[in-house]
Structure 1
Amino acid sequence: MIHIRHAGVARVPIYVAFAYIDDYQTVPDWMFGISEFTPVGEFTQGLGATFDTVMHIGPKQLRSRVEISEWVENEVITVSSLDGITNTSTWRFKAQDDDHTELSVDFAYQLPGGLAGKALGRLVEPIVETAITSTENKLRRNLERI
C-alpha cells in the first residue's frame, strides 16, 4: 500500500471544517478531479454511507463506489473504495485553537503487483501527490471563504 500524506491549517473552527468536508454536496467543489459524488441509499453521512463517484483524470472518466468506513464527528472521516483501484482517504481534524483547524489527509492506494505495478507506481505517484496538495489547498481556501 502506498501512502501520501499532507497537512495544512485552515482559519476556521473545527466544527466548520468538519461539517464542510462531511457534506457530500461540497465534495466536487474541493476534491481534485471529482465531478460527481452521489449518495447510494438513505444515508448521506456517517459510517456506512455509500456514494457513486465520477473522477476525471485528463481525458479519462473513472467511476467508482466508495463508502465512509470511519467517521467520528470533528475528528476523522475515512472514505474507502468498494470497487476499482483499492484506495482510502482519511481526513483528520485537530483544533489548533478556537479559530484554526489542522487538516491532515492520508491517501493510500494499492496498485497491481509485479513489474507493471512498479512502473505504474512511478508514473502515478507524482500525479497523486499533486492532486492531494491541490485538494488540500482548494479545501482550505473554500473553508476560509465560508
Structure 2
Amino acid sequence: MIHIRHSASAAAPIEVVFAYIDDHSTVPDWMFGVSQFTPVGEFTQGLGAQFDAVMKIGPASLESRLEVTEWVENEVITLSSLGGVSNSSSWRFIRKGDSATELSVDFAYQLPGGLAGKALGRIVEPFVGTAIKNTEETLRRNVEEIYAREA
C-alpha cells in the first residue's frame, strides 16, 4: 500500500468541518477528481454506510465501493474499499479552539499487479500529490465559507 498523509488547519469549528465531510452529497464538491459518490443501501453516514465512488485521475477513471469502517462524531471517519481499486482514507479531526480545527488525512491505495497495474501507476502517481493538495485547499475554503455565512 502507498500512503499519503497530509494535515491542515481550518478556521471553522470542529462540528462544521466534521458535518461537511460527513455529508456524502458534498464529496464531489471538495474531493479532487471525484465525479460520483453515491450511497448504496439505506445508510448515508456512520459505521457500515457504503458508497459507490468514481474518481477521474488524468485519463483514468477508477471505480470503487467504499464502506465506513470507523466513525466517531467530531473525531474520525475512515472509509475502506470493498471492491475496485484497493484504497482507504482516514480523516481525523482535532479541536484547536472554538473556531479552529486541525484536519489530517491518511490516504492509502494499492494498484493491481502486472503490466496493467504498472501502466496505471505511471498515470496515477503524478496526480496523487496534486489531488491531495487541491482537496485540502478546496475543503478548507468550503468549510471556512460555510462558517463565515453561519457566524
> Does TM, scored on the shorter chain, surpass 0.5?
yes
Partner of 2:37: 37
Structure 1: which 5+ residue stretches go unaligned?
A: none
Would you say how many aligned residue pairs link Structure 1 and Structure 2? 146
For residues 56-115 of structure 1, the C-alpha deviation after alignment (integer angstroms, 9 at most, x for no partner) is 223433322111111010000011111111100110000111100001110011123578
| SS of 2:83 mapped into structure 1 | coil
TM-score by length of 1: 0.91
TM-score by length of 2: 0.88
Structure 2: which 5+ residue stretches go unaligned?
A: 147-151
| SS of 2:45 mapped into structure 1 | coil
Give every structure 1 segment of 4 or more consecutive aligned residues whose post-TM-superposition deviation is greater than 4 Å. Answer: 113-123
Structure 2 CA distance, aligned partners of 1:47 and 1:113? 30
Aligned-residue CA RMSD (Å): 1.9
Check 1:68–1:137 CA distance in 2 against 1; reply closer, same or farther (3 A cut).
Answer: same
Check 1:115–1:64 CA distance in 2 against 1; reply closer, same or farther (3 A cut).
Answer: closer
Structure 2 CA distance, aligned partners of 1:113 and 1:59? 19
CA drift at 1:2? 1.0
Structure 1 CA distance, aligned partners of 2:12 and 2:120? 38
Residues 1:101 and 2:114 aligned together: no
Matches within 5 A, 1:65-84: 65-84=65-84
Partner of 1:111: 111
* 8 Å contact kept, 2:67–2:81: yes
